[in-house]
C-alpha cells in the first residue's frame, strides 16, 4: 500500500485540520504524507522498542518518550511524527496539547516498503536541519540499523557499532544490539533490566 500525499503548500494549521486524530502522517516541506497501516511485524517491533525506550527513560528520569502519533512542529511547513522519539526533561516546557514545539533529541523511524525514500533521504535532511541529535533508521526488510549523530558541524555522521552494539549519546547508557530486533527477539523486560543494571 502506497503512502497517500496531499500535494501543495500546507501549513501546520492545515496539517492539524486535515489529518484525523490517530492517523500517522508527516508534514514535510508543506506536503502531507499519510502513512499506510503498519504490518503486524512492524507493529510488534514498534511495541518492543517502545517498551524498552519508555522503561529506560522512565526509570532513569531522563525525559519523555513518544509514539508515532505525536507531531513535532519544527516550523509552519515541517512537522514530522517519528515512529519513536525522546525529549529531554529540560525541554518539557515545549510539550503542548497535541504537539511538541521544536525537534526531539532522538528520533527513530521503522522503515516500511512505502517509506524507504522518506526515511532514508527526506526525513534525514529534515531532522539534520532541525537539530535532532540522533536519528535511528531501523530497517526490518534489510535487517539493519543506521544510527546517525550530528557532529560539531551540525551534519549527520554514521555511528559504527562497538562490539556489535550501537550506543546512544542522546540517551546516556542506552544501547541496542541490532540482532535483537529481527528474529526471536529476546524478552524485552530482561533486556531492560540488563541496560538498567549497567
pLDDT tens by residue, 56-104? 999 999 999 998 788 899 988 888 999 999 999 999 999 998 789 999 9
**pTM, whole model, 2 decimals?**
0.88
Among 68-77, 169-178, 181-190, where is mean pLDDT lowest? 68-77
- Residue 108 is predicted with a pLDDT of 96
Would you call 197 helix, strand, or coil by DSSP?
helix
In angstroms, rounded to a whole number, what is the distance separating the alpha carbons of residues 12 and 91?
A: 21
Q: What are the grid coordinates assigned to 33, written together?
A: 504524507
Q: What are the grid coordinates assigned to 45, written together?
A: 517491533
- Residue 7 is predicted with a pLDDT of 52
Length of the chain: 198
In angstroms, rounded to a whole number, what is the distance separating the alpha carbons of residues 83 and 51?
A: 13
DSSP-assigned states of every residue in 65-94: EE-TT-EEE-BTTBB---SEEEEEGGGGGG
| Rounded percentage of the chain residues whose pLDDT exceeds 70 | 94
Q: What are the grid coordinates assigned to 92, written together?
A: 518539557
- Residue 127 is predicted with a pLDDT of 95
- Residue 46 is predicted with a pLDDT of 93
- Residue 8 is predicted with a pLDDT of 62
**What average pLDDT does this structure show over 120-141?**
95
In this prediction, residue 1 has a pLDDT band, given cuts at 50, 70 and 90, of very low
Amino acid at each position: 500500500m502506497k503512502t497517500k500525499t496531499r500535494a501543495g503548500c500546507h501549513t501546520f494549521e492545515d496539517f492539524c485540520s486535515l489529518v484525523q486524530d490517530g492517523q500517522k502522517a508527516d508534514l514535510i516541506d508543506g506536503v502531507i504524507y499519510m502513512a499506510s497501516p503498519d504490518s503486524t511485524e512492524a507493529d510488534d517491533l514498534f511495541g518492543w522498542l517502545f517498551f524498552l525506550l519508555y522503561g529506560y527513560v522512565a526509570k532513569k528520569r531522563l525525559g519523555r518518550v513518544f509514539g508515532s502519533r505525536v507531531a513535532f512542529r519544527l516550523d509552519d511547513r515541517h512537522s514530522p511524527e517519528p515512529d519513536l522519539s525522546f525529549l529531554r526533561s529540560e525541554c518539557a516546557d515545549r510539550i503542548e496539547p497535541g504537539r511538541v514545539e521544536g525537534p526531539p533529541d532522538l528520533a527513530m523511524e521503522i522503515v516500511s516498503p512505502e517509506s524507504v525514500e522518506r526515511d532514508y533521504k527526506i526525513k534525514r535532511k529534515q531532522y539534520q536541519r532541525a537539530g535532532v541529535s540522533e536519528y535511528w533508521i531501523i530497517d526490518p526488510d534489510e535487517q539493519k540499523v543506521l544510527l546517525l549523530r550530528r557532529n560539531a558541524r551540525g551534519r549527520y555522521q554514521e555511528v559504527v557499532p562497538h562490539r556489535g552494539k550501537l550506543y546512544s549519546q542522546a540517551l546516556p547508557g542506552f544501547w541496542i544490539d541490532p540482532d535483537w530486533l529481527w528474529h526471536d527477539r529476546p524478552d524485552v523486560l530482561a533486556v531492560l533490566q540488563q541496560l538498567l543494571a549497567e
